[in-house]
Structure formats: structure tokens, C-alpha cells
Amino acid sequence: MNKNYYAIIMAGGIGSRFWPISRTSYPKQFIDILGTGKTLIQNTYDRFLKVCPKENIYIVTNENYTDLVKAQLPDVADQQILTEPVMRNTAPCVAYGCFKIETINPDAAIVVAPSDHLILDEAAFVATIEKSLQTAVDNKCLITLGIKPSRPDTGYGYIQFTETAINDDFYKVKTFTEKPTLEIAKTFIQSGDFLWNAGIFVWSAKAIVDAFHQYLPDMHEIFAEARSYYNTPNEKTHVNQAYLQCTNISIDYGIMEKADNVYVLPSEFGWSDLGTWASIYELSEKDYVGNAVIPSEKVIMYDSSNCMVNVPEDKLVILQGLHDFIVVESNNTLLICPRDQEQNVKKVVADVKQQFGVKYI
């Protein structure tokens, strides 16, 4: 296993679209949302154990989730848990992890990935990451993984690529497009030169540090100044101060959309970002009328079809005459809504917070 290979797992999100199961105090990455016996972050960590040494895996998370990370990933040392004092989107998160790793090992090659995605074909995923790490080192480029789209989905970002390629399979990126309309998504699919943006990045430490210097110079200065503090008792104090100076910006918008050395690898490894209840429904086992029930021991359904049901194991639930609905109960909260209106969940969460405070959030 290559000692210069590193992984950064981003685990700071609150997963509000999975409310009420995902709460601010216990978000979705720490939940076994698919009923597999492992939480999403545990599955992510296990995948990267096949890519790099365990001491080279870093978790970036909100400081409120430190104990959750330690409990679920006991093999991760304290110095591998990088805590953020406030949410500032993905660019500061990436900067913190990559500058820290670059200080330890200037020859590092790094993969950055979310903690809450599903990968069905792990062997293909590992092979894709290893290939990308080597290509990033050899060509000093920034690599993003693109998923071959199966439908004109409006919930994903899209990457357009050109015919210019490295090794015949890493294509130069032309444009990034955030969640398009359905009509635009259809034209993307028909054109054949668009991929879904998986939000998984690969680069050498040198290349990403240079990119921060060129495209986000203020943020580069903030985290470069911290080099003497990384891996010392003063790291957390200095980083907490640094975060307060950072702008709220994504790595996509801050660097990937602007850099001229960005390449995408079209990939297929059974990927889902698990962003909505609809994605859980699609992946779950269903009965003969399309109901997905997790767990199913004490749920009885009459004249009901195509429903996504997730309720406590010890609760007896009877549903009758319900079609195409989401039914979720957790944390003393019950949510019932049509499947085609699940995008309203974030608004519901905001309304609940306004009316009842943070008790139910």
C-alpha cells in the first residue's frame, strides 16, 4: 500500500433533507440509514482502508461531532480528526485537510470524499481511486470523478468534458453546471458529453496548494500561516481563528470551476449520493406493490403502494389507503408527505425551528 496516499472524509453536514431521522445533533452520516449494520461514515472509512494506510485517513467534521466520530471510528487517532468550529462550506474544509497533509508529507496524493455516499461496487471504486491518484501525481492536475448519468436528474450537478484527454480516459473539463432544470438535464443526457458530479476529488498536495494560491489567495494565506501549528497542541486554537476569517465558498465554485488543469474520469461503481428519501427508496428492497419499509417487522399495510416507510423497530404501524407517500418517525417526530414533494422537507425543518426552536431539529 502506498504510504503517500491519503484520504480526507468530509463529515460536517447536518443532512436536513433526512429529517426527522437526521438531526443537527446526530446527522445522517452517523446513522445506519440503509439498515446494513454499519453507518454511512463507517462504510466510507472501510472503503478507504483499501486505498491507503489507516493513519493516512483524516476526518473533517464539526467539533460537535468529535465524540460521534471517535465512537464510530475507534481506530482513528485524535490527530486524524480535524474539527471545524463553524460551517464554511467545502473550500475551507479541503484547505485545512490538504494543507495539514502537505505539511506532513509534501509528496502526498489525496482523495477527498463525502462521508455519506453509497458505493455498491467497492472493487471498481478502489481501482478508480488508485488510478486517479497516480494520474494526479504524474500530471499535477486536479481530478474529479464523474458518474455516467442514467436519467435526466435535476438533483445533481453536471460536468461537461472535452475530447482532450490524459491516458485516453481522463478528460479535460469544459463546464460545471449546478442542478439544472429538467429540460436542460435532458439536453445534457442527449449530448453525451455530460456526467453527474460525484463530489469526489483527487489531486497531489502540491497541486491543490498551488490552486488555492492562484484562485483563493486569501484562504491560501490563512492556512499556509498555520503550517507551524499543524500537529502541535496549538493547532485547534489557530485553526478556529482561521475559520472565522474564511469566506463561505465551495471547492467547486472556488477552484474547480476556475482552474485550467481540471480533468474528469467517467466512472461506474454503483454510486448514489443518498441525498433524499427518494434515493433511499430507489435502493431499498420493496414488496410486490412497491412499498419499501425499514424495518418491516411491525408495519402492516392495506391497500397501500409505492411508499417509503421508516419507523422505530418497537412501534406497531398500520397504514391503509396510502399511495406514493413518505412516512418517517424518529425523535418524537412524525413526518408524512407525498414522495413527489420531499424537496419541501428543508422548508419544513425551517418552519419547525421557527415555531418550536431547536428542540425538534
Write out the three cell numbers for 271.
454510486
Q: Where are the alpha helices (DSSP H) in 88-204?
A: 90-104, 122-139, 182-191
DSSP structural state of residue 48: H
Cis peptide before 295 (omega within 30 of 0): yes
* Whole-number pLDDT of residue 154: 78
The predicted pLDDT at position 192 comes to 84
Give 266-308 pLDDT, tens digit per residue: 999 999 888 888 888 988 899 999 999 987 789 999 999 999 9
**What's phi and psi for 149, nearest 5 deg?**
-70, 140
Over the stretch 305-333, which tens digit does the pLDDT of each residue have?
A: 999 999 998 899 999 999 999 999 998 89
pLDDT at 33 over 90: no
Quick check: helix, strand or coil at residue 164?
strand
Residue ranges of the domains in the chain?
Answer: 5-272, 277-356
Rounded to an integer, the average pLDDT of 351-361 is 91
Say if CB 170 and CB 240 are below 8 A apart: no
Mean pLDDT of 222-244: 93
Confidence of residue 40 (pLDDT cuts 50, 70, 90): very high
Dihedral sign of CA atoms 211, 214, 218, 223 in order: positive
The CATH H-level superfamily of 5-272 is: Spore Coat Polysaccharide Biosynthesis Protein SpsA; Chain A (3.90.550.10)
Answer yes or no: pTM beyond 0.85: yes
| Band of residue 72 on the pLDDT scale cut at 50, 70, 90 | very high
Contact 7, 344 (CB under 8 A): no
Greater confidence (357 vs 207) lies with 207
Counting residues of the chain whose pLDDT is more than 70, the rounded percentage is 100
CB burial of 73-84 (b: ≥16 within 10 Å; e: otherwise) equals beebeeebbbbb
| Residue 182 predicted with pLDDT over 90 | no
Residue 35 pLDDT level (bands cut at 50, 70, 90): confident
Average pLDDT over residues 146-152: 88
Q: Which three cell numbers stand for residue 9?
A: 472524509
- Provide the pLDDT for residue 344: 84
Q: Is the peptide bond before 180 cis (omega within 30 degrees of 0)?
A: no
CA 307, 308, 312, 313 dihedral sign is: positive
pLDDT the model gives residue 179: 83
DSSP output for 292-331: EEES-TTEEEES-BS-EEE--TT--EEEES-BSEEEEEET
CA angle 251, 253, 258 (to 5 degrees): 100
Q: Residue 153's pLDDT is what?
A: 80
